[in-house]
Chains A and B, each alone.
Chain A
């Protein structure tokens, strides 16, 4: 019998390998916070998703109408559109651990 933790890791790795990750980062202008969020995200994706991801950056100042669809309140907000379910992470993504938990790349301890 495998433990639950082991099973979840396997399932996660299967999903990871199978699907393309579609991420959307909402920012409002070129603020230090949004720049930091983007570079943090880039780094995490490179080290955990090597190549199986796409990042779409939406600047709400330019496209305010898009804030409605994903119910954006806070910026920066990272939305994981795929794989389902949709997940939201707010903040400048400086806490890598929590980002990984939020993206379901690592199980919460």
Chain B
């Protein structure tokens, strides 16, 4: 990257680079090809060597105003012009404006008779003349190996080639030399022996019937470079190596939260939904409602006035809008208003890189705030696991760098562990939602839960996922001793619980009544006892009174008797009551 940073001093000390202008290549090579030195580009037939070379020259002339010489040993000027025209390079125009010189060198062994000593000064003179005529800074030799077929004396040829490369360096031009891939060495005739500064290997492989081109910087003397093999593709604007520019992990993040489109799901994320610019993975088996969830999210975004780009790899746009219409998600007006765009293509239509490039192009053109990829697993059909992962990484890298919120849906197949079967990309995702089928009681029900969500608190609960005419809704699943219950059994369980509660209530009321009854009985008994006691008391009093009256009567009678008998002692008065006492004690 050409940014102003403290590194700039060391960059100046390093080898001067010559930017190719080829998308992605300059990032891999940290600035381009070695300036003023030859670079060898080798590869098998049909892997894009000539195109690579042509693009190097054309971009040099157009973007960096460095004129170039294309010396072709295989294709004539007009062939070359028409070949690269299909990729959007106007070679003929550049030749007219004297920014590029096409030199077609014709070598035919049968027309050449060799007699004695010679050298290739003629070639040097031609090249020199071509370079000087336009002040070229870049040279392409495509492909020098034709000379091996044309000239019988290999010893002379080799020494002359050595001289040629030395001469090119002295001339100070940045050269690209193409060569055919050899069986045991990089090139068929060992050209790498002479070109030792930079060697780039192009390769065209077929994996599971899908062809992918790869580029690798085998050698880059005196400079840092990426040694990995990078997929590249030839699109309608030339070569792009890794259509994504950045490979770093240094994107800006946003604290803004955006709605998931499903209110209850927002609640599961602390009531505020996803982070803007995060990547969301939605996993589920067939028919769990992935597309619907994604559509809800897309619709919510579009209704907020954000642009949404929907990549559909399984259904046609019309089918999606029709199906979503059936559950009350009306996407058509959003499409018409230009807030939503569908891009549908068959995964097997072309290779992964082409998909990536197409998606990249669509994203650049539409500038969406939200991207939905439905489903990402379909792309597995277009490449191997590792390639798909690489592609997803690059896509995500780009999307995150651009601050675009992305939802990937992913189809898992029954029987596999849901958490495991992702194309190893779950670790790349910020939020992971899992949609699952629950089978039981003769029905299938959908449940949803949040497997992870970086940087926010989120619910750990399983929610039942209901799809109705009015969209989707999440309800609490019943979790009881017999596990998670959903659907009819959840409803049945709830009814059962209500019935049980009713019975409990009735029982409690009954007991209360019983208690009440007991208490009133008790109180009645108490009252009875009390009245019994009271009656006894009254009787006692009455008896006391009776006794008192009798005593008085007796005393009076005795006194009367004593008076009659003329008793002289007072003791009679005293004795009488004690006698009476004795009687009572008895």
- A-side residues, CB < 8 A to B, are 26, 28-29, 33, 36-37, 60-61, 64-65, 67-68, 71-77, 86-95, 98-99, 101-102
Given A68-B103, A71-B105, A71-B106, A90 contacting B118 (CB threshold 8 A): yes
| B contacts with A, residue count (CB < 8 A) | 25
Asked whether B115 lies within 8 Å of A91 as measured between CB atoms, the reply is: yes
Contact between A33 and B119, CB atoms less than 8 A apart? yes
Contact A76 B118, beta carbon cutoff 8 Å: yes
CB contacts between A and B, total, < 8 Å: 97
The listed residue (A61, A94, A101) touching B117 by CB distance below 8 A is: A94
Contact B120 A73 (CB under 8 A): yes
B residues whose Cβ falls under 8 Å from a Cβ of A: 103, 105-107, 111-126, 128-129, 147, 150-151
Chain B neighbourhood of A71, CB < 8 A: 105-107
Residue ID in chain B nearest A90 by CB atoms: B118
The answer to whether residues A92 and B112 also contact, given A73-B122, A73-B123 and a CB cut-off of 8 A, is no
10 pairs, CB–CB < 8 Å, chain A vs chain B: A26-B122, A28-B121, A36-B116, A60-B125, A61-B125, A71-B106, A74-B123, A86-B111, A91-B117, A102-B113
- B115 surroundings in chain A (CB, below 8 A): 89-95, 98-99, 102
Other A-B pairs, 8, CB within 8 Å; known A33-B119, A98-B115 = A28-B121, A28-B125, A60-B122, A67-B126, A72-B126, A74-B118, A75-B122, A89-B114
A22 to chain B, nearest CB (A): 17
Contact partners of B126 in chain A: CB under 8 A: 64, 67-68, 72-73
Q: A31 to B502, alpha carbons, bound, how many Å?
A: 118
Tell me whether chain B's interface is mostly helix, strand or loop, or mixed.
mixed
A67 B125 Cβ-Cβ under 8 A: yes
Min CB gap A2→B, angstroms: 28
Chain B residues with CB under 8 Å of A74's CB are 118-123, 151
Instruction: Across the interface, name the chain A residue whose C-beta is closest to B112.
Output: A88
Shortest distance from the beta carbon of A18 to any chain B beta carbon, whole Å:
23
Contacts of B124 in A (CB 8 A): 28
Whole-angstrom distance between the Cβ of B409 and the nearest chain A Cβ: 60
Q: Give A18 to B116 CA distance when docked, in angstroms.
A: 30
9 A-B pairs with least C-beta separation: A102-B113, A64-B129, A94-B116, A91-B116, A72-B122, A28-B121, A92-B116, A91-B115, A60-B125
Residues of B within 8 A of A89 (CB): 112-115
Nearest CB on B from A9, distance (A): 20
Q: B129 is contacted by which of A36, A67, A93 (Cβ under 8 Å)?
A: A67
Closest to A59 in B: B125
Contact call B105/A92, Cβ cutoff below 8 A? no
Cα A36 to Cα B103 in complex, Å, equals 30
Contact residues in A for B121 (Cβ distance below 8 Å): 28-29, 60, 74-75
| Contact flag A101-B113 (CB < 8 Å), given A28-B125, A67-B125 | yes
Knowing A64-B126, A73-B105, A73-B107, say if A87 contacts B113 (CB, 8 Å).
yes
